[in-house]
Each structure stands twice: as C-alpha cells, then as structure tokens.
Amino acid sequence: MAKDFILPDIGEGIVECEVVEWLVQEGDTVKEDQPICDVMTDKALVQIPAVHDGVITKLHCKKGDIAKVHAPLFAMDVVGEAPSEKTETSSAPTSTREHLEDFILPDIGEGIVECEIVEWLVAEGDEIEEDQAVCDVMTDKALVQIPAKYTGTVQKLYYQKGEIAKVHSPLFQMTIAGQAAKEDVDVNQAVVKAQSNATTDAPVKQTQPQTAIVNEKAVASPAVRRKARELDVDLTCVPGSGKNGRIYKQDIEAFIKNEVPSGMDTSELNKPQTTESKKISSTDEYAASTGGTRTEAIKGIKAAMAKQMVASVSTIPHFTYSDEIDLTDLIALRADLKEQYKAQGVKLTMMPFFIKALSLAMSQFPVLNSKVNDDCSEITYYDDHNIGVAVDSKVGLLVPNIKACQTKSIVEVANSLTQLTDSAREGRVAPDDLKGGTISISNIGAIGGTIATPIINKPEVAIVALGKLQHLPRFNEQGQVVSRAIMQVSWSGDHRVIDGGTIARFNNLWKEYLEQPAKMMMAMR
C-alpha cells in the first residue's frame, strides 16, 4: 500500500523548508536510507533519506516549493505490502470511514535516535483527541511529551513503560475516523500545546458535587501523574474526586495524609494492594523496611551526566582556585532596581549580574572562552559567550546555556535565564539550549555550602561554583569591623591551557566588576 513519508523535525524551531532538488522521480525504485531530496532550512542544507524499500508513487512538492514539517513530502509503495489502488471516484471525504494508522515517533532532538518510555498517559481502547498528550519519553537530554496528531481510538501500544523506543519507528496504533490525513498538520504547535497543558493544574470547579471514586484506569492529567511519580504514589489506589474518577493534585495530597473526603467511595481502597504498590504513612514517610537492597538502571539524563563527568575527570587535568567576593554594593543596587523591573515582568536575581560580569571579563581573557582538542594540539576560541547555568531539575542535572551573552544587556540575560531555568526544572529544556556552552556557573550556594571543587563541563575549559551568601565581619578602610555580604567562589580550570596566574587575574577582573557595579556598567557596550 502507498504510504506518505511525513517530513520529520529537521531542526529546533524549524517549521518549514524549501525543496532544493529531487534526487528521484515518480516511478523510481528506492532503497532504505537512499537520499530522496535536498531541502534548505534557514540554518542548513539537509538531505532527506527513504525509511523503507519501495517505489515512489507521488512527489507532493515541486522543486522550489515550501514543505511543511510533519506534512506529507512524498508517497511510496512499500516493498512487502499490498500496492495502492488508484481511484477516480469523488474526492469528497467519507467521515464515517475508519482506518488504522501507526503513529511514527518523530525526531525529538538533534542526534537523538532513541528514547525511554517514562509513562503512558493513555491505554489501549482509550478515545483520544487531537493534541492530547499520549506519553512522556525521556531522551539523554530532556523529558518530552508526545501529543496525538488526530482524534481517534488507541488500538495498540508498541512499547511498555521503561522500554526503549526508536525514532522513526511506530510508537502506537490508532483508529482514525474520517479522512486519512489532515492537510498542513503542524505537530510543532501540537507539542507546544501538550507541553503547556502539562504544566497547568487540571482541576476545574464542578457545578455539581461529584462523588469521588477509585478508578482502576487512574484518569489523571500529565501534571498529576508527574506529582504521583515524585511522591511514589500508585494512582490506582488514589480515589479521584473529579468526573469519572479523575484524579487531581489535591486528591494525591489527601491520600498521602490519609484524609478521605466525605461522600467518597472508598470500596476500591479496601482491596488488597499488589506487591508493587507502596503505602504512605500519615507522617508523609514511607514505611521502613529492614534488610534487602534495591537496584535500578541509570538511564536518561543521569546516565548522560555520568558519562560526561567520567570523560571530564579522566581527560582534563583539573586545578582549583578559590576567592571571596564582597557583594554588599551589588546587593544594594539590585534591591533598588528589583521592584522597578518586577513591574515590567523581569525577574531580577543576582545571577544575571554574575553572568554579565563574567562575559565582560571573558572579553579580556579569551582563553577562558575556548576549547582544546583531545591531544591538546589545537585550541579553538569562541566568539560567542554561551554561559551555562547548572539547574537541579526533576530529571537530573541540566546545564542550559544563554547564547551570546556578550551582546545582551543585564535585563535580556535575566529574561533568558528565567525562561531557561523554568524549562530546565521541568526537564523540558530544548536540546539546542543544552549544546554549545563555552563556560559554566554552578550555584551550589542556593542549596548550601561555601566551597566546592566543580567538574568542568567538557569541552569547556573552566567552571565556577558559587557558595552561599554570608554576612561576615570585615575591616573597612578605617580599620573598623563592619558586616559585609561575602560569597566564596571556587574555580576549576583546565591546566592544559589555563595556569594559576591567568585564572587569578581573570577572577580579579570579574570580582572587580561585581564589587564595583559602576565599573561593570561603564564596561558595557
């Protein structure tokens, strides 16, 4: 049968491309992985390969046309399947007709070929709507939510929770009512909608009181499911107060506290629990067990971080340099500006000042914004200051970076930082935001601690850890003891390209900008 090849994601933020050259014609026999056409995005020339052996039956776009991502690019008869039948009947859609279609897992990030199924948000037999979240998948970079492209009924899930799904392979099968496909389907918008729905609370006020019931299917929104995973709560044991037993966040909280609202049907709760389910005590602590062990696989972001850290410490000779910075004047400046910019929707923390001062200092010390090859025979200097900030997210440590900080004002840095950290804490940061960093900041002081020995984020050559802010006694110019806002900072440098004198002079300049904000403002272009 003829299958449409759906143009996959070919780059972050790219929704269309120009067909530069067709490398095949209608009627040609092609092999899997054979180049079919060249397309031009606003970033690069990309070659699109075939994913099956077969015969090209139709080219949906002409040379020079604009092709939409996630729209049909060409059709082909796949080898081993029944050939398509050409019909000359009326083109009017038959809305009553149903057909089966596999949902093909699209590209979900540059260089990502597989992902782990974290959670199915639907079950076989469920009716789903277009743009509804179907499952959460974990790549080695982020947690991604996959939405449905059509309205229909889920017939088969090809993977179990915890299994590895391949990009461009069928993820699930569904029955679609009506037309086989919709024109100009924009899955990028669908993903955005699904992600935004996942970050909002599901509860809606009911006009009539609902009797809460326990639903074995555990009807709940993605946000509620994430909360349940965080608390290790079995949703099938939680009575839902919403329509048809839908579970809300407050239902989980009530379950943890062993508070069951009046009028709630708790008959299902009296059934014996499976050995996998876990009860939670009224003190919000798990029942203690003696002896035994628990082993779990290191996957996703944690596995990627582990590999990255091992590569860093085994190939880069680290050395550490520590100093203290007096932030009293900078804190006063921020306090004066905070409310003014808050009214403009800007979250002005101390971090944008650290980032901008770091960028200004790097302009004078370009070796801090470089990388070396593995045998240390070449050094590459970056023009852009892509400064990464370590974020302790729900899925592990993420280090998104703010691009081209040398061109941004403090306010622009603040806005970029807010957007990146909010996305990273949910584990849904864009893959491009995790690539291309040139230097990193780790704010351990937000959790506690003063001194650290941070590990360099390879291939960068330096990283700085910020300790907690302390009010400590110091001598002023008159020899009097005064209270000052002091922060300890710890640098780790690549000793192949940075020596102690260089890091000391660089730190002194960065420190000068932070301790004397007026100098930092004067240094800005």
Q: Which one is catalytic: 52, 60, 318, 495?
A: 495
The span from the CA of 174 to the CA of 156, in Å, is: 7
The span from the CA of 287 to the CA of 124, in Å, is: 34
CB 359 within 8 A of CB 405: yes
Report the 10 Å Cβ neighbour count for 140: 21
Residue 248 — left, alpha, or beta (φ > 0 → left; ψ -120 to 50 → alpha)? beta
Report the 10 Å Cβ neighbour count for 272: 6
Burial per residue of 382-414, b for 16 or more beta-carbon CB atoms within 10 angstroms, e otherwise? beebbbbbbbebebbbbbbbbbebbebebebbb
The span from the CA of 52 to the CA of 158, in Å, is: 19
Omega before 209 cis (within 30°)? Answer: no
All residues at 6 or more sequence positions from 52 whose CB lies less than 8 Å from its CB, including other chains: 3, 32, 76, 78, 79
The span from the CA of 480 to the CA of 188, in Å, is: 62
Q: Which amino acid is at 79?
A: V
All residues at 6 or more sequence positions from 135 whose CB lies less than 8 Å from its CB, including other chains: 117, 118, 119, 120, 121, 122, 145, 146, 171, 172
Q: Is 495 a catalytic residue?
A: yes
Tell me the helix, strand and coil percentages in the chain, rounded to 5.
25, 30, 45
The span from the CA of 18 to the CA of 293, in Å, is: 56
CB 100 within 8 A of CB 152: no
Which residues are 21's β-sheet partners?
38
Q: Which one is catalytic: 65, 232, 284, 499?
A: 499
HEC secondary structure over 276-293: CCCCECCCCCECCCCCCC
Helix (DSSP H) and strand (DSSP E) numbers for the chain? 9, 28
Which residue is associated with the tokens 């002409």? 62
- Sheet strands side by side (includes 66-68): 45-49, 35-40, 16-22, 66-68
The catalytic residue positions are 495, 499
